[in-house]
Amino acid sequence: MDYISTRDTDAKPYKFCDILLGGLAPDGGLYLPADYPSLDDAELTRLRGVLAEGGYAALAGEIICKFIDDIEPVKLMELARNAYRTPVFSEEEIVPVTQLEDGIFIGRLSMGPTAAFKDMAMQLLGEFFEYELDRRKETLNILGATSGDTGSAAEYAMRGRHGISVFMLTPKGRMTPFQQAQMFGLADDNIFNIALDGVFDDCQDVVKAVSADAEFKRKWRIGAVNSINWARLLAQVVYYISCWIKLTDSNDQKVSFSVPTGNFGDICAGHVARQMGLPIDRLIVATNENNVLEEFFATGSYNVDRTAEKTSSPSMDISKASNFERFIFDLLGRDAARVKELFGTRVKQGGFSLAGEEAFDRIETDFGFVAGQSTHANRLETIRQCAADLNTLIDPHTADGVFVARKFKDTTESPIVCLETALPVKFAETIEEATGTSPEITGRFEGTMDQPRRVTDMPNDAEAVKSFIVERVTALRS
């Protein structure tokens, strides 16, 4: 299995371990498999048996083995078992699927240590990183950006791991109190939280700017855990397959997925699964008021020349969807020169349009994508109605997914799985506004809000962030 960059016209091949620790390709592109492995009828049948007999970890091991040939299969199986186990995850099933109403189900992705879907990828990524760094006898300084849940999931996955430090940028004042408490309450010596004076897109731009400095990146061993890292998407492919198996009895049955979407990572994993041959009907992109992606799927115009608006589904308050480049690469027939021009030049100038092009007209027929958006009022009513009528409390991002799924339900022949973003406790303010009652913080999250906070306020300046990294890493080494 070789990997290539979305912007490399020479399609230089890399192995998985070559791309694992770096994130972005040297040319600024994103890595994808040179060819997607295939899930034919016989293999789908076999995977049903794997999940039934060995559980989620066994299924994950089988899938990652299809994408990685420079780590021994027995080791990959071990890493998968280490990642997907109790009590790291609160349910043995790891990803339960429950029915919300007729035709709509919830894929429960909140069973991990931070109660967010990001745990599904981060726990495996932590295993990958520690294994590869120990093998190479190297260290890694992870630089990431978060609009809500990526940061805490990354920090909980990497805390205390040998040879790894985490520097996580957050948009100051933009996360919920619970999200801030989860991150800023960690006292581990290898975890550093930075509150940047800006929005998530600014944080993401700083990460890209630091990563683009090849000499700094090399000298200070900078790596990435944001969804630009291919290994995260690989981990997320697994739960699409798991959910499909649980909702079907035969391989000719299809399932659709409604995915709350900001950075296009979660739903991009669904795109990969569909390209492999998983019988996915529709991939429903659910956005909030920051509807750059919904606008693209409706009009062909990808307009990123805007500042993300602060909303009640903050993890989706993004105007530049990093993983969107991966889909456009496939949509345009893997034309690296065109992708380089669109994302390396045009996006920096405000965006681009594919309206009128033959490729744009094939998005739904060939790739299954449709899109919709919700407003704050839509989310509140969806949360209220699900709690009152269906006895199910959902977070505001999942409410985006449910609201948009309902818009497409009558025209979708297959059952729709709404992929859960997080537990409602992470967004108590919005839940209380919708239902009149704040979700209780109990069990594994009791005491989260009471921890002292460790966070450094910084200006929106890549050079300032570089200096901070140098200072802290030097101190750790001394």
Q: Is residue 246 part of a domain?
A: yes
Question: Nearest Cα to 201, choosing from 226, 231, 237, 233?
Answer: 226
Could you read off the pLDDT of 393-436 as tens digits, one per residue? 999 999 999 999 999 999 999 999 999 999 999 899 999 999 99
Q: Is 336 within a domain?
A: yes
Contacts of 119 (CB under 8 A, 6+ apart): 89, 109, 111, 112, 113, 153, 156, 157
Q: Is 226's pLDDT higher than 90?
A: no
Mean pLDDT of 184-190: 92
d(CA 157, CA 142): 12
Residue range 293-339, pLDDT digits in tens: 999 999 999 999 988 898 999 888 888 898 999 999 999 999 999 99
Residues 20 and 128: beta-carbon distance below 8 Å: yes
Q: Would you state the pLDDT for residue 435?
A: 97
Domain that holds residue 429: 97-114+231-435
- Count Cα atoms within 13 angstroms, Cβ side, for 68: 27
In a domain, 471, yes or no: no
Per-residue pLDDT at 143: 92
Q: Reply yes or no on whether the pLDDT at 478 is more than 80.
A: no
Flag whether 315 is in a domain. yes
Q: Is there a domain that residue 212 lies in?
A: no
409, two tokens: 């339900």
Exposed e or buried b per residue across 27-37, where buried means at least 16 C-beta atoms within 10 angstroms of its C-beta: ebbbbbbeebe
Per-residue pLDDT, 59: 98
Residue 225: pLDDT above 90? Answer: no
Whether pLDDT at 440 is above 90: no
Q: Which residue is listed with tokens 């950075």?
A: 263
CATH number at residue 422: 3.40.50.1100
Q: Could you tell me the pLDDT band of residue 442, with boundaries at 50, 70 and 90?
A: confident
Q: What's the 3-state SS for 369-414?
A: EEEEECCHHHHHHHHHHHHHHHCCCCCHHHHHHHHHHHHHHCCCCC
pLDDT value, residue 45? 98
Q: What secondary structure letter does DSSP report for 306?
A: S
Number of domains in the chain: 1
DSSP 93-124: TSS-EEEEETTEEEE----STTSBTHHHHHHH
Task: State the average pLDDT over residues 178-186.
Answer: 91
- Active-site residue list: 118
What tens digit of pLDDT does each residue of 196-222 get?
999 888 998 999 899 889 899 989 999
Q: Are 300 and 306 in contact (CB under 8 A)?
A: no
pTM above 0.85, yes or no: yes
